[in-house]
Amino acid sequence: MEETTGPLAQELCGRPVALVTVDRPLFLIGDEPVIVNIVGDHVQHLPECSMTEEQFQQKLKRARKKGRRRREVRRTLHMYPTQPRGITKAVEIVMPISPRTLLVLGPAAEWDGAVVRDRVCGAEADELAAEINYRIAEYSLDMIVGRIDDPAFRAFAIPEPAPILNICGATGAAKDVVASVPVRLRPRRLDRRTGRSGAENVVGTSGSQ
């Protein structure tokens, strides 16, 4: 565990910290609460990713023709997350820590230890919350948490579940399994009644949108 957390802590501690507060409780949170913002495509494809099945079969045929002894022909399979996850490549890391406040870690740089505080109001706050809440809902695997007295939370359209992983350089059943949407991915809203049994426990599910 220390081998993983040590470098991660070093990476995060080297970033400037800001707290962004809005004038009303607008932010949702889910079971995947960290938003990673990067520049460009978060996927770094390999040269083999562009190889088609037909090209691979041709490669096999050429290997067979070169001699009677069977030569080993390898194919690289590139598996990657469909959402940005690389902390080290992030220009910004954002996480809601309350319905009104975001914790923002900026680009890696020398940090003097001072926490910058910013306040966003009105239409600008609504725009910021819309972007953050969509990303939170898009990332969530099982639950999205908000305030029971928030009509916008109850009316919020949960995005359709999407694959967590994708794979290059393969076709057929293996790729279908990796790139499929796990059946347990069904985000739901939770409110303060969580823990009660029956339908009262769930305010709404993505299937009802």
Long-range contacts of 133-136 (CB under 8 A, 24+ apart): 133/26, 133/27, 133/28, 134/159, 135/35, 136/27, 136/28, 136/29, 136/30, 136/32, 136/33, 136/35, 136/96
- pTM (two decimals): 0.68
> From the CB of residue 125, how many other CB atoms can be counted at a distance below 10 Å?
19
**Buried b vs exposed e over 11-29: b needs ≥16 C-beta within 10 Å?**
eeeebbbbebebeeebbbb
pLDDT beyond 60 at 1:
no
Quick one: how many helices (H) and strands (E) in the chain? 5, 10
> From the CB of residue 35, how many other CB atoms can be counted at a distance below 10 Å?
21
Tens digits of residue pLDDT in 151-207: 888 888 887 777 878 777 666 666 777 777 766 556 666 655 545 433 333 333 333
Question: How far, in Å, CA of 48 to CA of 61, rounded?
Answer: 18
Question: How far, in Å, CA of 125 to CA of 171, rounded?
Answer: 45
pLDDT beyond 80 at 53:
no
Whether 100 contacts 25, CB under 8 Å:
yes
Confidence of residue 73 (pLDDT cuts 50, 70, 90): low
- DSSP structural state of residue 161: P
| Cα distance from N-terminal residue to C-terminal residue, the chain | 40
Starting at the earlier edge strand, list the strands of the sheet with 29-30. 29-30, 143-145, 188-190
Q: Which residue has the higher pLDDT, 121 or 192?
A: 121
Tens digits of residue pLDDT in 87-106: 777 889 999 999 999 999 99
- How is the chain split into domains, by residue range? 10-41+77-208
